[in-house]
Structure 1
């Protein structure tokens, strides 16, 4: 293994290198896995029968699509540390808010209209106008209000991860401090699991944190090279992720029975191992041969796709299941979801990000001109690392 560059222990922001389009590809893989799970393994209320029976030939694979979100979390750990390194907390907040909210606001409003005025029943959250307004903040998970979209639970997890990273940024990000941050978080994860303490569980997310920590370790391997310490973080996180994933899948099996959700523990182990191997390949540069420029757009539309896909199925599947074959209907629903996601990205998300980033950036500049700062000044640049655009966070 190569050693960490001695001068890189406290390095600041990397100069811009080639974009990691392989992460864009993996984000779409994650979204496709989640979409396949929802359409072919988890939507009995839409089909009128267990989807795993209707799509029996692929049910051992589609049931494991439930773990596509875990791939999102791994990518997020990698990308968010990359995005935060060498930037002020103010810049980080502007980046995250402008990335998350424009498409999200549009989808929340669309869901309110769809379930209030269009008579759609599938996945209706049964929320009041007040609840939808609270959903616009993305804080409903912490306020005891239901999610307007069933997939929004993961955004609440992501948001708490961003807050932890923002707090970490107040101390300035260096390699040594990253190792300390990751060690402390792992200790708190173990404490939360051992004690089942509600406060520790809420703050430190023991079932999701190992994915974020592993992603951060993979980014450090990508940036500084392989070391035994960094791979030890990956190994410990991997073990905790196996525990979390097998228990998550088992919970689903226990709820509806193995006959209707045929996902054995070894399947979850294989899935988690595969996604760890994929991120390891990114961190080691083994996927640098991916150069298809369209992957940038594919990665960018993944977030709108994640937000809209389940509710598209709530419209199309009940309305067409009696007149269209189930396989063509799944294909059609996927195609419509991807097309709609592209339109949301082009017409709402991209211009909305640009506008919100400019508005928030101008406000941040005014604060700085009045004598305030949003964090420590970035350290000096020393290393060159690949970059990822502001559109690359997950989901």
Structure 2
């Protein structure tokens, strides 16, 4: 449970303690921000809140990637490649596949039944449920509809518009996995720092650069998110010289807002490291409910919110107004996220940790329940860390 910081920490830096941080809470807030953002387009009300040329949901995803860059880089550099990949696959894939299956077995049939009055043709209408499962099972979302649905909603033809980012997140995992093979990456923070700067420059000139990749849209989307991820990586690699202090924390927030506003398009990615710093600093002092601290339901909220919102719209519940739609969507989504955490995510991660322990492999973990976390075991004025990978 996060504690209040004392006067010494207030002026000279606080600790990112594995048992006393609010990263779970921050990620839950970011996941709920995506849900809130989607209420506007799914109700047919436009794009919703916007800042510096990006929607609220886009900024929330950027926050996810910046935190992930810090934590995943720590995971990679403190684990062998095989262990790292096993943990990353175990953390993201089982819940993702369960979500796809739940959509095909429960969500989409309910939507199809509401639209057609029968389930006749559900299994054979393009995109068929089995084709949806098979085509999307490796994170790359090839199809958004299931049996042509959802029907009769303001945003038709897409059951889960949030899953697209998971593919690019995993690509970032693989990039760090590959870079971690080189001894220089482990010895010096400069290669990753240079890579971060290069990614920002590419994003700033994305229209010119993408010409040489045939306007490849996957590349364009990756370059929107990679700078945030690498920004978090940079912060991890410079952790021995950077402390979590309130003055740079506030300056990171203010300078990010200024740069993002002044340079829409690439200003946000340029602030990747600043965003990561701000979020980690906030997590070092922000109080968090003990239940949230011990149970990370943010992933479940992220992957289930959109289909829940679409199903409510299929049954016309979006007509009750923004506040009611938002509240009902959040309540049902949190229920599914809790089920995902307790019955899918947490059991699998415990099994992975137990398997690693039983194998006799060296463990660099604490008993904190935070998934894919880098546990900050701090020295005064610096962010030193060991890694916990659930």
Give the TM-score of the pair, scaled to structure 1: 0.65
Does the aligned pair in 1 maintain the 2:300–2:338 contact within 8 Å?
yes
Match of 2:21 in 1: 21
1:20 offset after TM fit, Å?
6.0
Secondary structure in 2 aligned to 1:354?
helix
Q: Distance in 1 between matches of 2:235 and 2:170?
A: 21
CA deviation map 1:102-128 (0-9, x unaligned): 111100111122465334489x99533
**1:316 aligned residue (301, 312, 318):** 312
Q: Distance in 2 between matches of 1:156 and 1:64?
A: 20
Does the aligned pair in 1 maintain the 2:67–2:279 contact within 8 Å?
no
Greater CA deviation, 277-286 or 177-186? 277-286
CA deviation map 1:305-336 (0-9, x unaligned): 10000101112233253774542232121111
Does the aligned pair in 1 maintain the 2:77–2:186 contact within 8 Å?
no
CA deviation map 1:229-285 (0-9, x unaligned): xx9xx99x969x94999349xxxxxxxxxxxxxxxxxxx97x997x97663245558
Please show how residues 182-221 of structure 1 align to structure 2 within 5 Å.
Answer: 182-184=193-195, 186-187=197-198, 190-191=201-202, 193=206, 194-196=208-210, 197-198=212-213, 202=218, 205-221=222-238
Q: Distance in 2 between matches of 1:199 and 1:364?
A: 48
Match of 2:389 in 1: 390
1:32 offset after TM fit, Å?
1.4
Please show how residues 217-366 of structure 1 align to structure 2 within 5 Å.
Answer: 217-225=234-242, 242=260, 246-247=264-265, 279-283=276-280, 287-288=284-285, 290=287, 292-297=289-294, 300-321=296-317, 324-355=320-351
Q: Distance in 2 between matches of 1:307 and 1:167?
A: 27
Match of 1:50 in 2: 45
CA deviation map 1:38-64 (0-9, x unaligned): 11x221xxx3x4267xxxxx8568952
Does residue 181 of structure 1 match 2:176?
no
**2:88 aligned residue (92, 96, 99):** 96
Question: Greater relative contact order (Cα 8 A, min sep 6): structure 1 or 2?
Answer: 1
Query: Which stretches in structure 1 are left out of the alignment for 5+ residues?
Result: 1-15, 53-57, 249-267, 366-380
Q: Aligned pairs, how many?
A: 319
1:353 offset after TM fit, Å?
2.9
Please show how residues 38-117 of structure 1 align to structure 2 within 5 Å.
Answer: 38-39=38-39, 41-43=40-42, 47=43, 49-50=44-45, 59=49, 63-114=55-106, 117=109
Pair 313,146 (structure 1): closer, same or farther in 2 beyond 3 Å: same
CA deviation map 1:55-83 (0-9, x unaligned): xxx85689523321111111111111122
Does residue 168 of structure 1 match 2:179?
yes
Q: Distance in 1 between matches of 2:228 and 2:163?
A: 18
CA deviation map 1:192-240 (0-9, x unaligned): 73422328975693221211121112223444326xxxx9xx99x969x
Greater CA deviation, 91-100 or 194-203? 194-203
Q: Distance in 1 between matches of 2:318 and 2:144?
A: 30
1:146 offset after TM fit, Å?
2.5
Does the aligned pair in 2 maintain the 1:221–1:283 contact within 8 Å?
no
Greater CA deviation, 310-319 or 187-196? 187-196
Pair 351,66 (structure 1): closer, same or farther in 2 beyond 3 Å: same
1:168 offset after TM fit, Å?
1.0
Query: Which stretches in structure 2 are left out of the alignment for 5+ residues?
Result: 1-15, 116-121, 146-159, 244-248, 362-376
Pair 26,63 (structure 1): closer, same or farther in 2 beyond 3 Å: same
1:17 offset after TM fit, Å?
5.3
Give the TM-score of the pair, scaled to structure 2: 0.66
Pairwise CA RMSD: 4.5
Secondary structure in 2 aligned to 1:198?
coil
Secondary structure in 2 aligned to 1:161?
helix
Pair 199,322 (structure 1): closer, same or farther in 2 beyond 3 Å: closer
Q: Distance in 2 between matches of 1:198 and 1:29?
A: 36
Q: Which has the higher helix share?
A: 1
